[in-house]
Amino acid sequence: MRILGIRVDKIDMAAAMDFIATAISTFNEGTPPKQVVTLNPEGLYLATKDKTFAAIVENAALVTPDGAGLLWAARRLGQPLNERVTGIDLMISVCSRAAQESWRVFLLGAQEGIAQEAAFKLKERFIGLQICGFHHGYFKGTEEAVLEEINTAAPQILFVALGLPFQERFCALYQNKLNVAVTIGVGGSFDVIAGRVKRAPRFMQRLRLEWLWRLILQPGRFLRILVIPKFIWKVIQNS
């Protein structure tokens, strides 16, 4: 479906997991990874302004509805979506399944030390999970070395936590140099898994107020979420 002209796939968590499992089982070396974009309202709004980012979303293999705002917009447009498929929830589901199926995963992103801490926590939680490598997300100028490190580690799934839209640009720009089956942009998920940023309590998630919780914890996000009322206004005008 389309929201403000931007592609969002009508899928739920189960369908996203099926997609990823198929991408892994049918992966042929030498073919570019299937890029999964977890698109939130900020990202969707950015895509309406930034043609390069819009093209990345359009050409992705899968675009999941990440955020209550997208569910609201879809309902308003008469095409309701089942549930949110957020970066963090998708990452946890994939890691859980990866531990059972022996999929190898690599963690790229966040500040020095965080990916390693997140890897430790994930291995503790999902016994048998094969995390074949991790690297922080501040590597400007050494991209080639990072790509080589990833390819040498030979993961099937690459989680990229560089924030929006850098993670999507990275996955698109280097798709022909990454020998992995699936790339997934997961925003600030490593910080949450490592325990550096607390996720909203369940009742706030249920009330669809996760954005408010993140704003309270990280007031620096205020400028970024100013696009949300603009997004809402545009959807109202267009529906």
Select the residue whose beta carbon is closest to ligand UDP and give its number.
137
> How far apart (Å, rounded) are the C-alpha atoms in residues 134 and 153?
9
* Residue (76 or 221) nearer to ligand UDP, CB: 221
Which of 163, 169, 205, 213: binder of ligand UDP (CB under 6 A)? 163
Which of 107, 164, 172, 200: binder of ligand UDP (CB under 6 A)? 164
For 150-175, b/e burial (b = at least 16 CB within 10 A) is: beebebbbbbbbbbbbebbbbbbebb
Q: How far is the CB of 162 from ligand UDP (least distance, A)?
A: 4
Q: How far is the CB of 199 from ligand UDP (least distance, A)?
A: 11
Give, in order, the Cα–Cα distances in Å from 103 to each of 44, 67, 116, 150: 30, 27, 18, 15
Rg of the chain (C-alpha set): 17
> How far apart (Å, rounded) are the C-alpha atoms in residues 88 and 79?
24
Which of 187, 193, 200, 211: binder of ligand UDP (CB under 6 A)? 187
Which of 101, 138, 198, 236: binder of ligand UDP (CB under 6 A)? 138
State phi, psi for 60 to the nearest 5 degrees. Answer: -65, 160
Should residue 65 be labelled a site residue for ligand UDP when binding is judged by CB under 6 A?
no
Token representation of residue 217: 């914890």
* Residue (103 or 159) nearer to ligand UDP, CB: 159
Should residue 33 be labelled a site residue for ligand UDP when binding is judged by CB under 6 A?
no
Binding site for ligand UDP (CB under 6 A): 109-111, 137-138, 161-164, 166, 187-188, 190-191
